[in-house]
Every structure is written in C-alpha cells, then in structure tokens.
Amino acid sequence: MRPTCNTTKAVSVTSGHSVTVPAYGSSKNSTCKLVLNRSTENPAVKALQRSLKNCEGYSYLDVDGFYGPQTFLAVEALQKKYKLDPDGIYGPNTRDSMKHYSSTLGCARL
C-alpha cells in the first residue's frame, strides 16, 4: 500500500530545470498517492492542482490544497485522457503520464 503524499519534491527534467511533484515524508519519496479528502489541506495536493490547472488544461481548478470533488474529477478525466484506469486517485501511473508545473520551465513530463 502506498503512503499518502504529504509534501513535494523537485525532480530534475532538463539541465537546471525541475518540476514539482507530490511526495511523501522526509525522504520525499514520489511513490505515493492522493485520494479524495476534503478535510485536510496538503502541499502535495497544491502541487497536483497547480500542474492540472497550468499544464493539463483544467483551468477551473482552485489551487487550495484540498483534494475535493473538482480535483477528483480532474484526475479522473486526466486518467481517461491518458488511457489509465479512471479511479480519481493520483498515484505513480498518473504521475508518470501527466505534465508537471515548474515556475522556471513551464510544464514538462518526468
């Protein structure tokens, strides 16, 4: 079972540029998941929402850090777009398929 993402990690994608992805714990392991949870604000969810909004075209999303219905539906739609199991759960397959946001680079895949 994968732990719940609770922080972020900068992952290098090109020389001098990195994207921010959800991660877990002090080791910042990026093999983690995010599930529907409206009660806990989470920096990992903010990173996911920022990427969904800026890189994947879900401009209606609020970047508020809560994995609510809008985020769930955006992840589910993204999974359908990339022919993944549309369960609305952010995990490694979703992470590897989507584009992630970088303040210096824009958007890139891992």
- The pTM of the full predicted model, rounded to 2 decimals, is 0.94
pLDDT at 40: 87
Mean pLDDT value of segment 16-24 = 92
Q: Is the pLDDT of residue 43 over 80?
A: yes
Percent above pLDDT 70 for the chain: 100
Q: Is the predicted pLDDT of residue 109 greater than 80, yes or no?
A: yes
- The yes-or-no verdict on residue 54 having pLDDT over 80 is yes
Query: Has residue 21 got a pLDDT over 90?
Result: yes
Say what the pLDDT of residue 104 is. 85
Buried b (16+ CB within 10 A) or exposed e, 59-91: eebebebbbbebbbebbbbbbeeeebeeebbbb
